[in-house]
Amino acid sequence: MTALSFIEPVELVIFDCDGVLIDSELISAEILLGALERLGIAVDFAHFTRHFLGRSFPRVAQSIREAFGVALPADFETSYRRDLLAAFETRLARVSGIGDVLDQLAVRRCVATSSSPERAARSLAITGLAPLFPGAVFTASEVANGKPAPDLFLHAASRMGVDPARCLVIEDSLPGLTAARAAGMPVLHFTGGSHYRDGHDPLPDDLAGIPQLTEWRLFFHLCPALAGSSTGANIGETD
């Protein structure tokens, strides 16, 4: 496997959360598709990955209303979030191999996610990842426009005090890849989550050439310069 070269040295790795750090997308799909089925809306997993994956819930709800011409119940989002977090408590796990990567990562790291602050915090706590990102979890609620707009990644870079060109984004979703490109950041397409176990659609032409990372154990083969022996000194906010 050939190591990647970056125009600027990488000083910050920005991780998406769902499907990258935590193996949550199949659980999310099950809960959301079940809730829609109870409303008489038939949506399959392919539709979920193409239209919902990587987007904030308000954008997902808007997509459902527009695609199916329905008015969702007033408590739909609240009920979905409650059922999802209940499922997370017993079923959520890290994506295999991420712990080793975080242990060896020699540069700073943060999370930039479309999830709500509550969902992100609980997800990282359940999986034991929260202590590895102190003061370094940023959500779409903090910006005017979520993914695929670049706002969230640019916000994360600004808060961490790092030039966008020196950030590396790890993303699994099309909106996330699009957002990273728009932010002017190098990006890897992570396809090691269980929601990609049966493959995925080819990337569109405008995202062609984004390197693919199929599992975390290959990360330092692609990015050997990011490996190191110290872990605790490089994370969190700038001094």
Q: Where are the alpha helices (DSSP H) in 20-106?
A: 25-37, 45-51, 57-68, 76-91, 98-104
Query: Has 18 been annotated as catalytic?
Result: yes
> Three-state SS for 93?
coil
Write down the catalytic residue from 16, 23, 151, 172.
16
Dist CA 150 CA 134 (whole Å): 23
Distance CA 88, CA 12 (A): 28
Task: Determine how β-strand 187-190 pairs with β-strand 167-171.
Answer: parallel
Whether 16 is a known active-site residue: answer yes
Cα separation, 180 vs 110, in Å, equals 14
Q: Which of 18, 23, 151, 172 is catalytic?
A: 18
Residues annotated as part of the active site: 16, 18
